[in-house]
A and B are shown apart, each in its own frame.
Chain A
Amino acid sequence: MAGRTQEDIENELATEYLVLTYADYEAGLREGKLLGLRCVPCNKITCHPMPVCQWCGSRDLERTELSGKGTLETFTVIRVPSEGYEDDNPYIPCIVKTNEGPSVVGRLDYDTERATQDLIGKRVKLSSTYTYKGDKYSGGPRSCPVFSVID
């Protein structure tokens, strides 16, 4: 270990395996940014953060910011929530295909009584962040993106 300080080792470990951690991703969401990774060899975008490119598996990744815009792939209105989510009921989890390629799971900010099948395919954009307060099984609070319909 001669010649290397503890700080050097920790700095190296901080980015050697994870260029973007989940904590970074959630911090980004809370600042209104959808962060992801650009793959140097294949140039595709990965989101949520992973240690490898979700498309080609390369570990050669760089941080990037996505536009936050995309298309609503599907959604549901939850009316029987699980323990810990009662205060949100009813609410709309959704999957959005981002302009940059990867899909992300989040919530849709929309009137639950007017949420019908014709929402699928609508253009949406990142509008805020939802943070689950956390319970003893979640490892603390967790955040996800919230999308709004833009057309």
Chain B
Amino acid sequence: MPMPEPHAITREGKESTAFWIVGFVLLFVLPVLNVLPPEDSWWHVSDFALNRFGKFLAFAILALGLDLIWGYAGILSLGQGVFFGLGAYCMGMHLMLTIGSESVYGSALPDFMVWNQVKELPFFWKPFYSFPMAFLAGLLVPALCALLFGFLAFRSRIRGVYFAIITQALALLAWLVFNRNETNLGGTNGLTDFKQILGFRLSEPGTQLALYVLTVLCLGAAYMLCRWIIASRAGRVLVAIRDSEQRVLFSGYSPADYKLFVFVVSAALAGLAGMLYVPQVGIITPAQIGVLPSLEMVIWVAVGGRATLVGAIVGAVGVNLGRSILTNHFPELWPFFLGGLFVAVVLLFPDGVMGLTNKTHEKIADWAIRWRKAQVVEEKQA
């Protein structure tokens, strides 16, 4: 299976400069432009825009994890939405409980429980009163699920399309289960109507700004973590597994262990993304974790360019930006666009945006060398 070369290993120098520049812009420039210029100024970044961008960056964290398993280890997971959802629901449950009696029904229980005539808080909700517990759960629940699922799947050497199909079934099931009312997770309506996080009002622009900055920091940390994994020996084994699992096995490594490790890491990243997504968007429903969203996540990575961590970020932000623009103006066209994107990314630019830019780079370099050569020849002739 032809796969792009892992650019991150070879082009580390350039990427680290870009990393610091982009990080500076995201972390300082955008928030400053949000706070300082007056609202009618051209430079002003509105609260809404910043909040939306924060959401995209949360998605980018998830895309990083997906790129780690798909781009580098060659495991296509179509169930990433499930891990995202688990993280998001963990945070959502905590936010739901901190509403307290501020809810519409004025009950200490979440509203949907009042509708469903649930009298007492179910036992698995109780730990979520505490923020640290909720935060840990948001990382650990997806990670443990991935550990169990991955253990079963990788041990019996389910891979390639088989793995994709099984994870897709997982996404379908998670969607079905989360849609049920008796699981006490809000059913179709999901969890919403959050008021505060750690005592800060979510409706305040300041809180949203802080959440945005937090998201950028998490994204940076996730990026560093992924790059560290890729650069380590484990990363090289993963790339080897992608290219030929059989040979890695014959060389005395245990591919299943490496795959399991990276699968768990990517699930935890997805959980983190979910936790950052919920307070910024204010709602989490089963519609976010089904088969279609899970596949869309794959397309973010494909569009950005597999096996380039930057590509995952670019893809996640780019596709979601396109989505929000398109669904605002032509809601009916979005499925056509998304479908076309799936086909185009596979047929026309399999290396994604990063592949395209790399190609342009190479062309420019090529052209520059030729130009220099021509100069030299001219000089000699002269």
Same complex for A and B? Answer no
Q: Which residues of B contact A (CB under 8 A)?
A: none
Residues of A near any B CB (own CB < 8 A) = none
